[in-house]
């Protein structure tokens, strides 16, 4: 009995296989974004300060009770001729009634995610452009970007055709309306 030959691996298959086999140092984060493996170092304290300010407000003020994960790997539709994107937002929010994170694999689909949060760090251009496109391709309804270099917060909404059609930007110190299921004005005065 002869074994059936395996179809040859494509370059995308090899890249994805290599990415999934990575063993990054503790605290580092590896992502596969638009066919590129990106490894980032642990964040600084200011980065975590912004995340903490937002998470506390969501927990206290959101119209819908939210679950949050600070290290959830998401698989998203990739660009043509590239494997699926594998990204780790700084924070991922989903309605608590969905129990989206319960029993989820380390890399899960983004179905049911309400909002992802990124705070710019070592590669601000990736957060502003590349990750924005990734989240839009994944159909994530809301993308919140805290841009430390520009001292501004931007909410991207209405994903369509690989990008967000709407954006609402405020400088640090102003409020930003988060639509349903959040339904409150995000205070950014603590970011200054």
151-182: pLDDT as tens digits? 999 999 999 999 999 999 999 999 999 999 99
More confident residue, 78 or 35: 35
- Of the pLDDT bands very low, low, confident and very high (cuts 50, 70, 90), residue 1 is low
pTM for the full model? 0.90
Query: Looking at residue 63, which CATH number applies to its domain?
Result: 3.90.1570.10
Identify whether 23 is part of a domain.
Answer: no
Query: Is a pLDDT exceeding 80 seen at residue 124?
Result: yes
CA–CA distance, 134 with 129 (Å, rounded to integer): 9
Nearest-angstrom CA–CA distance, 141 and 150: 23
Better pLDDT: 78 or 56: 56
Total Cβ atoms within 10 A of residue 163: 15
Judge whether 14 lies within some domain. Answer: no
Question: Domain limits at 156?
Answer: 43-191
pLDDT digits (tens, 9 = 90+) for 61-92: 999 999 999 989 999 887 776 678 899 999 99
Q: How many domains does the chain have?
A: 1
Domain-located, residue 32:
no
Q: Is residue 1 one of the residues assigned to a domain? A: no
**Strand stretches in 12-141, DSSP E:** 29-33, 36-40, 66-69, 73-76, 85-87, 91-95, 107-109, 115-119
**Confidence grade of residue 40 (pLDDT, cut at 50, 70, 90):** confident
What is the average pLDDT score of the chain?
91
What's residue 82's pLDDT?
A: 66
Position 84 scores a pLDDT of 86
Q: Is 63 a domain residue?
A: yes
User: Virtual CA dihedral for 160, 151, 115, 134, nearest 10 degrees?
Assistant: 40
Confidence of residue 107 (pLDDT cuts 50, 70, 90): very high
């Amino acid at each position: 009995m002869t074994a059936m030959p395996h179809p040859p691996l494509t370059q995308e298959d090899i890249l994805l296989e290599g990415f999934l086999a990575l063993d990054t140092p503790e605290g580092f984060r590896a992502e596969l974004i638009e066919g590129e493996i990106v490894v980032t170092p642990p964040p600084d304290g200011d980065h975590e300060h912004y995340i903490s300010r937002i998470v506390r407000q969501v927990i206290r003020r959101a119209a819908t009770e939210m679950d949050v994960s600070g290290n959830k790997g998401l698989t998203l539709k990739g660009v043509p001729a590239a494997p699926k994107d594998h990204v780790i937002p700084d924070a991922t929010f989903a309605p608590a009634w969905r129990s989206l994170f319960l029993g989820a694999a380390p890399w899960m689909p983004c179905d049911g995610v309400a909002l992802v949060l990124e705070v710019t760090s070592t590669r601000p251009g990736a957060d502003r452009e590349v990750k924005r496109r990734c989240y839009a391709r994944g159909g994530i309804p809301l993308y919140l970007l805290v841009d430390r270099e520009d001292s501004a917060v931007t909410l991207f909404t209405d994903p369509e055709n690989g990008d967000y059609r709407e954006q609402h930007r405020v400088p640090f110190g102003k409020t930003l309306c988060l639509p349903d299921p959040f339904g409150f004005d995000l205070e950014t005065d603590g970011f200054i």
